[in-house]
Amino acid sequence: MVQQEIGLDWEEDFQRLTPSQFFRKNKQMLGFTGKIRSLTIVFHELITNSFDAAEESGILPDIDIELKRIDKEHYILRHKDNGPGIPEEYVMQVYCMMFAGSKFRNIQSRGQQGLGCSGCVLLSQMTTGKPARVISCYKDGDEIKGVKMKFQMDVENNRGILMEREDYECGETGVCIELQFKDVSYSLAEQGAFEYIRRTMIGNPHARITFRDPSGHKYIFKRAANIVPVQPKEVLPHPKGVSADDLMTMAKNTDSRRYKSMMTSSMSRMSNKRVDEIAAETGIDMNKRPKDMTFQEAEAIVHCFKKMKFMAPPTDGLIPIGSEQIEKGMKQILKPEFVTTITRKPVTYAGGVSFIIEAGLAYGGEAGRIVNEQRKSEIMRFANRVPLTFDAGSCAITEALKSIDWKRYGLKDLDNTPLTLFVNIISTQVPYLSTGKQSVSPEPEIVHEIRQATMKLARKLQKHLRAKKAAKEKEKRSKVFEEYVPVIIEEAAKLGETGVPEYQEVLAKVTKRALAELLGEKVDDDETEEEELDAIIMEEVDEHGRVVEDNNSSLDNFKEDEEEELDE
């Protein structure tokens, strides 16, 4: 009776959604919102997958992208890489099956969810109804095989439907995919596809990307480094980061015969001695079979973990870009007047997840972004080498950088300074705020590390700006001498009723450079200037360019305070 009143028929109305159906109705959760953003996310997903595949095979990534405009907001995207290729039996699984892939290990990786490529195919199919076209060349033993396929996504069953297939002759491995999109837009704006490629090259200086835009213009982003990044290792979960449910999952899937062996083999920093301590604290028999573990036992063990002290998790699974490589990338793209970088030591958040913060700062040159023909500051956010283009306001990186008092470092107006700030977080578990993976959760430990790294770079920039200002003041004073000394000499000669002495003889007593010229010696301008700058940097200069005492300056005190904070 109640069923008839509310109009519910369980047999007819009860349904199940496949992942593909869910994301077709909620494509914004994949980042596909807005015309510019949707196209940029497609670039992001395809590029990161190509990078991961190439690096895991020890290949320097070489990507060729072509974007053709068919009509207003209608494009054909052709993306080709030189990676290891995809075996034929896995092609449609990679591009048509949600939550399928090789990204589900506890390992540092650009992708983490197995949604990227299949999400791009889904968006293409939703906006145009056109099938995907893929050419995959892969190694089968010592032979390179190639296959050319055309397929669509079966959304109801979360799989692919093959439409055409033929063998393809190829001499090298790689994948080429062609997709069509409507209701998207290509833009040179800060959040557009071109800017995404530009930022990608700073965080991945070992890559090479050739891009042909809809107007036919060809951009070649060259490599700044010829070293394939060292591949990270898969790491075991740390006891501090394990929940009761995680422990139950380990117990169900382990091959170990006892609690003790399961815990020592499935978690890092867990020794037999630690297991004995847990047994004594909880009263649980550690010789029981893992499959007999109850949820109450798992809760008791995890509660015990929280009270115990463990060594920090291993960090050999984290491979940062490296300060030298970041500097090369920034110099290649930004051509700055001044650049400095830093890679911090590994630390943890949430009790047991390791992460590393890397930062770079570029000033002058082509640093910053152009707004109304004026260069303004810009923040480049990265996670595992991947640019985070959207959702900046809610990101830990933005929060940390905005919280710094930049006036203390000589930047009175940060927004209108030609400055680029680069921050990259490296972790096996980057705490993204959404499945779109565009912003990092503001964990206190992460925000603190970003602040410390950036403030250290800011002090170096301040030193550079002070030296530059002092050098300008010194040059200005030299010009004053050059302009007025001849006049003073003439007037002094008149008063003394003597002949006018040679100008260079008088100037030689004022400047070292003139003395060297008088003696006919060659002066090394670059070396002299560098020595002068080194001397200037050691001095405090006031706003009028006068040298003052610097025995106990506020800057030195500030440095000591910051160093003490870092030590803590």
- Looking only at Cα atoms, what is the longest distance across the chain? 126
* Mean pLDDT estimate for the chain: 82
194 alpha carbon, distance to own chain's centre: 16
Task: Tell me if 214 sits within 8 A of 185, measured CB to CB.
Answer: no
The pLDDT tens digits for 312-327 are: 777 777 888 999 999 9
Q: Which helix (H) or strand (E) holds 538?
A: none
Nearest C-alpha neighbor of 163 from the set 127, 130, 203, 205: 130
The pLDDT tens digits for 433-450 are: 877 778 999 999 999 999
Domain spans of the chain, in order of start: 19-221, 239-307, 323-463, 473-567
pLDDT mean over 499-509: 64
Beta strands in 298-442 (DSSP E): 338-343, 347-349, 353-363, 369-371, 374-376, 378-383, 386-387, 419-427
Q: Is 199 exposed, middle or buried (0-12, 13-18, 19+ CB in 10 A)?
A: buried
Q: Report which of residues 562 and 324 the model is more confident about.
A: 324
Q: What is the pLDDT of residue 511?
A: 55
pLDDT band at residue 555 using 50, 70 and 90 as cut-offs = very low
The pLDDT tens digits for 454-473 are: 999 999 999 999 988 888 88
Q: Report which of residues 18 and 419 the model is more confident about.
A: 419
Tell me how far apart the alpha carbons of residues 150 and 146 are, in angstroms, rounded to a whole number: 14
CATH number of 239-307: 1.10.8.50
Q: 127 CB contacts (<8 Å, ≥6 apart)?
A: 180, 181, 182, 183, 184
Q: What is the pLDDT of residue 2?
A: 46
**Torsion of the alpha carbons at 52, 57, 61 and 67, rounded to the nearest 10:** -60
Choices 3.40.50.970, 3.40.50.2300, 3.30.565.10, 3.40.30.10: CATH for 19-221: 3.30.565.10
Cα-only R_g, the chain: 31
Tell me how far apart the alpha carbons of residues 191 and 194 are, in angstroms, rounded to a whole number: 8
Range from 4-18, 326-340, 366-380 that averages highest in pLDDT: 326-340
Tell me how far apart the alpha carbons of residues 349 and 440 are, in angstroms, rounded to a whole number: 13
pLDDT mean over 200-220: 93
Tell me how far apart the alpha carbons of residues 10 and 87 are, in angstroms, rounded to a whole number: 43
pLDDT mean over 348-364: 87
CA-to-CA separations, 137 to 39, 100, 147, 175, 338, in angstroms, rounded: 26, 20, 7, 6, 44
* Whether the predicted pLDDT of 533 surpasses 80: no
Q: What is the pLDDT of residue 101?
A: 55
Q: Is 448 exposed, middle or buried (0-12, 13-18, 19+ CB in 10 A)?
A: middle
3-class secondary structure, 289: coil
Place of tokens 């990679």: 94
* Whether the predicted pLDDT of 285 surpasses 70: yes
The pLDDT tens digits for 33-84 are: 889 999 999 999 899 989 988 988 999 999 999 999 999 899 999 999 999 9
Total Cβ atoms within 10 A of residue 276: 12
Total Cβ atoms within 10 A of residue 429: 18
Tell me how far apart the alpha carbons of residues 197 and 219 are, in angstroms, rounded to a whole number: 10
Q: Report which of residues 396 and 495 the model is more confident about.
A: 396
User: Structure pTM?
Assistant: 0.72
Architecture (CATH level 2) of domain 323-463: 2-Layer Sandwich (3.30)
Q: What is the pLDDT of residue 230?
A: 79
State the sign of the Cα–Cα–Cα–Cα dihedral 490, 493, 498, 501: negative
Q: What is the pLDDT of residue 15?
A: 65
Same fold, 239-307 and 323-463: no
Tell me how far apart the alpha carbons of residues 421 and 8 are, in angstroms, rounded to a whole number: 57
pLDDT band at residue 549 using 50, 70 and 90 as cut-offs = very low
Total Cβ atoms within 10 A of residue 175: 25
Q: What is the pLDDT of residue 456?
A: 95
Phi and psi at 203, nearest 5°, equal -85, -10
* Whether the predicted pLDDT of 530 surpasses 60: no
Q: In sequence order, what DSSP letters do the residues of 163-198 get, joined into one string?
A: EEEEE---SS-EEEEEEEEES-----STTSHHHHHH
